[in-house]
Structure 1
């Protein structure tokens, strides 16, 4: 008796179609929030910025208080600590610019949202994220949490990302940073258990932080901290260079290399309508 190989269709190759459904639902929800409840949307964006900034302080504390331990071990500990921020952001459904790059690029591919609306949401999200960083470091200024050693580590990190980096290096590292972050989120979407989601989300963040890649919102938080603690050490043109090219790199890494690629792999542009 012969065994026949079943005939496959193109649709059978859409292995992550459930992820795309989930992403498009989230795009619609985010669009509705930004259009009809702007205050709530901005508050969620601010919360994402606060969470990133507080975990930045946590990471600086780890790196300075464990001074003397093997450098690689300290970096890995700091990366693991910082990964908590994105886990909290995703699981609380806060609005982070760089994860929205993936979501809204999928929406743009399937024409469920307009380019102008996506650009508006990116801008609102980025403003909220930056405000969150300023709020957190403003509160920190009223405490003795940021030690001189932590300020020194912050200053060194900012110098490395601005004065000592070229625009091309920043952009390429920005691509890698958001590629790993959004790959982690894309994998987490497939998981039902919260612990599994947290693992995959954290995994991408640990890689980007350990490798010192460029994340535009994280960097903006560092610059906000510098404005409170060591503003004279900031080179404003180099700060602008970092923000512009980290933004571009992050969009390419998360929006194009993850969002657009998986949108194309899992359907046709006319498969979904508003």
Structure 2
């Protein structure tokens, strides 16, 4: 028998990935503390990019209406994956990916929980503002057709009045699990094409399956403010936002961030 000289540290298979995430967390905290305006602008850009690609997705859904529904949904999912690819590769700030990053940083004592939660809330606020800016500009153009507005209304109704809190919660867990698994894998690659592919994979799954993404949903509600405010049941919107937020944190922060942080080192390993 050959002696087994491996140690527990040899089982930590993603040290470089975890180190990369922790470096990102430190940069996020520095920007948040020292140049909050820049951090806010990067968060606005994420919301803006999500919203503008949402309009693109609505255009695909309506212009290809009448063909195979599954094919339309797949095309819409692939098209929407462009949003997260652009967000990650431009280093914009998105709440749902920050769930993973900041939880890993908290596990390794890079950042305190109060500061991490504060960054999450500010990021979410300015993600919403980005969506509001996009739809505010869009309102005064003919880009959003009547068919696209009707598709938007139908989508919002299904996510609010037509959904229970438990369904929203579970679908939000699945959504951010797939998104952050894709991001986690993409960090292990240096070239942009490989990173874009794995980022897109998680998004295609969540959109095609109709899972709940709190920032994407907030963008839809931003659109409704400008296009049909009275058609929205706002208490149900609040239900969706609250449980999608919680579910997205569980899926991205705990099921991906905390799990892989634990699998790649002890909590006090960076201070040793």
- In 1, Cα distance between equivalents of 2:253 and 2:210: 20
* Pairwise CA distance, 1:6: 3.9
- In 2, Cα distance between equivalents of 1:69 and 1:11: 54
- In 2, Cα distance between equivalents of 1:166 and 1:96: 26
Name 1:107's counterpart in structure 2. Answer: 105
Of 49, 52, 72, the match for 2:50: 52
Name 1:40's counterpart in structure 2. Answer: 38
Name 2:83's counterpart in structure 1. Answer: 85
Superposition TM-score, scaled by structure 1 size: 0.98
- In 2, Cα distance between equivalents of 1:121 and 1:272: 22
* Pairwise CA distance, 1:69: 1.1
Instruction: List, as ranges, runs of 4+ consecutive aligned residues in structure 1 with deviation greater than 3 Å.
Output: none
* Runs (5+) with no aligned partner, structure 2: none
- In 1, Cα distance between equivalents of 2:176 and 2:147: 29
Superposition TM-score, scaled by structure 2 size: 0.99
Name 1:19's counterpart in structure 2. Answer: 17
Aligned length: 272
Name 1:28's counterpart in structure 2. Answer: 26
* Pairwise CA distance, 1:53: 0.1
Name 1:71's counterpart in structure 2. Answer: 69
* Pairwise CA distance, 1:221: 0.1
- In 1, Cα distance between equivalents of 2:266 and 2:157: 45
SS state at 1:272 partner:
helix
Of 228, 236, 239, the match for 1:241: 239
- In 1, Cα distance between equivalents of 2:245 and 2:121: 11
- In 1, Cα distance between equivalents of 2:123 and 2:40: 7
- In 2, Cα distance between equivalents of 1:174 and 1:163: 16
Of 154, 166, 169, the match for 1:168: 166
Name 1:126's counterpart in structure 2. Answer: 124
Of 136, 139, 142, the match for 1:138: 136
* Pairwise CA distance, 1:215: 0.3
Name 1:116's counterpart in structure 2. Answer: 114
